[in-house]
Structure 1
Amino acid sequence: MPVKVILSSTLRRYVQDYDPTKGMEVPVPKGTSLGQLVKMLGIPEKEIKIAMVNGLKVSLDTELEGEERIGLFPAVGGG
C-alpha cells in the first residue's frame, strides 16, 4: 500500500525529482517502519528532527499500515 510523503525544507535535496507541491507516493509493505522508509528514500536519519504520521508526532520505530500521510522535518535554525 502506498503512503504519501511530504518532505520539508532541506530534506527535499535527498530525493531526486521531489515535487514539493504534490509530495510523493511511496509503495511500502504493511509493517514497514518509518525508519525503514526513511532509509529507502536515502535520507540520513540524523537529518530528521520531527516525524509525523497523519498529523501526530511519532518515532522512526512507528510501523506503517499503508495510506498514511507522512511529514518529515529537519531541525529549524535561525535567530
Structure 2
Amino acid sequence: MAVSVFIAATLRRYYPDYDPLKGISIEVPEGASVEELLKLLGIPSSEVKIIMVDGTHARTDTRLKGNERVALFPAVGGG
C-alpha cells in the first residue's frame, strides 16, 4: 500500500533527492506502523519529534491504512 510522506527541515538530509513539492510516495506493508515507515526511509525515530497522519497528531506506533499523507518534523529550536 502506498503512503505519501513529507519531510521537514533537518530530516531531509536522510533523503538527499527529496522534493518538498512532491514529497515521497512509498510502498509499505499493509498495517505498517510509522516506525516501520521511518526504517524504510532510513530516518532515526529519535530525530522525529512531531508526526502527523492526514493532519492529525500521531505516534511511531500508529498503524497506517494506506493512501495517507504522513508529515515528519524534527525538534524545532529557537529563542
TM-score range, shorter chain: over 0.9
- Aligned pair count reads 79
Q: For residue 46 of structure 1, what is the aligned residue in structure 2?
A: 46
List structure 1 runs of 4+ shifted beyond 4 angstroms: none
Fraction of identical pairs, as percent: 56
Counterpart-to-counterpart distance in 1, 2:45 and 2:12:
14
Counterpart-to-counterpart distance in 1, 2:43 and 2:69:
17
Tell me the TM-score normalized by structure 2.
Answer: 0.96
Counterpart-to-counterpart distance in 2, 1:6 and 1:72:
6
Q: For residue 37 of structure 2, what is the aligned residue in structure 1?
A: 37
Counterpart-to-counterpart distance in 2, 1:16 and 1:67:
23
Aligned pair 1:26/2:8, yes or no? no
Structure 2 residue runs of 5 or longer lacking an equivalent are none
In structure 2, give the amino acid aligned to 1:22: K
Counterpart-to-counterpart distance in 1, 2:36 and 2:16:
18
Counterpart-to-counterpart distance in 2, 1:59 and 1:9:
19
Q: CA offset at residue 16 of structure 1?
A: 2.8
Structure 1 residue runs of 5 or longer lacking an equivalent are none
Q: CA offset at residue 30 of structure 1?
A: 1.0
Tell me the TM-score normalized by structure 1.
Answer: 0.96
Residue 3 of structure 2 aligns to a residue whose secondary structure is: strand
Residue by residue, what CA displacement relative to the aligned partner does 1:44-68 show, whole Å, maximum 9, x if unpaired? 1110000010000011001111100
**Aligned Cα RMSD in Å?**
0.7
